[in-house]
A = this chain, B = another copy of it.
């Protein structure tokens, strides 16, 4: 793994999709994959695929392709997904309950071991196999179980408060689905997920498409 240049956001964002597809191919019994096939699946250029894969350190065989097992292992190692990350989720509402039970995350080394919610009707229940616990127990739970990641699925208005509790409890990585910029100490990493961003992109593409098909004169 020659150099670890971590600025390439688009590449890193694409890695889970490669991983997903490679796992699928392995299940189908394939052991080698060449760039053109992956490029078709990803809907990007072949050269982009090669550059993407190269940051993991794997080398392929000219005229042949890459070994799927090697690629899977390398991507998982590059992302740190070869070791389990324990997470808690706060806000067992509609989005939270979707994430809690999502099987896909286990493949990514992410274990959401409990959810927390303020709602007394939810605390004490079990949601998709995971316990939903009252907020007052959050800090102790995080310390006892050495949780390193927090997933925020609460309304934006209270996200900063919950974030503060997470940080105080020792959590250093926060995956934030509330649309607010969280203020955190320098040693805490926050990833904000704006699902509506994709909708905006889709909307603009559609408008552009209409505009193109409309004016034949320009």
Q: Given A97-B94, A102-B94, A181-B42, A4–B208 Cβ distance below 8 Å?
A: yes
A201 partner, pick from B20, B191, B200, B208, beta carbons under 8 A? B191
Distance to closest chain B CB from A188 (angstroms): 9
Decide yes or no whether A71 CB sits under 8 A from chain B.
no
Does A189 sit at the interface, judged by CB under 8 A?
Answer: yes
Other-chain contact of A80, B101, B195, B196, B203 (Cβ < 8 Å): B203
Query: B80 contacts A204, CB within 8 Å?
Result: yes
Most chain B beta-carbon contacts within 10 A, residue among A16, A156, A205 = A16
Number of interface residues of A (CB under 8 A): 60
Task: Please tell me if the beta carbons of A207 and B98 are within 8 angstroms of each other in the complex.
Answer: no
Q: Is the interface of A mostly helix, strand, loop or mixed?
A: helix
Q: Which of A5-13, A57-65, A161-169 contacts B (4 or more CB under 8 A)?
A: A5-13
Q: Give the shortest distance, in Å, between A93 (CB) and chain B (any CB).
A: 8
On chain B, the residues within 8 Å of A14 by CB distance are: 194, 197
* A180 CB to nearest chain B CB (Å): 8
Most central of A12, A13, A81, A204 by chain B CB within 10 Å: A204
Of chain B, the residue at the smallest CB distance from A195 is B193
Q: At the interface, yes or no: A130 with Cβ under 8 Å from chain B?
A: no
B98 and A94 contacting across the interface, CB-CB below 8 Å: yes
Verify if A187 is at the interface (C-beta below 8 Å from B): yes
- By the criterion CB–CB under 8 Å, are A189 and B172 in contact? no
Inter-subunit contact B108/A20 (CB<8 Å): no
In Å, the complex CA distance between A4 and B204 comes to 10
Q: How far is the CA of A12 from the CA of B198 in the complex (A)?
A: 9
Cβ–Cβ contact A201 & B12, under 8 A? yes
Q: A189 is contacted by which of B40, B43, B194, B206 (Cβ under 8 Å)?
A: B206
- In the assembly, what is the distance between CA of A205 and CA of B197, in Å? 21
A121 to chain B, nearest CB (A): 17
Rank and list the top 10 A-B pairs by shortest CB-CB distance, nearest first.
Answer: A13-B197, A191-B202, A16-B196, A94-B98, A98-B98, A95-B98, A193-B198, A79-B203, A189-B205, A80-B207
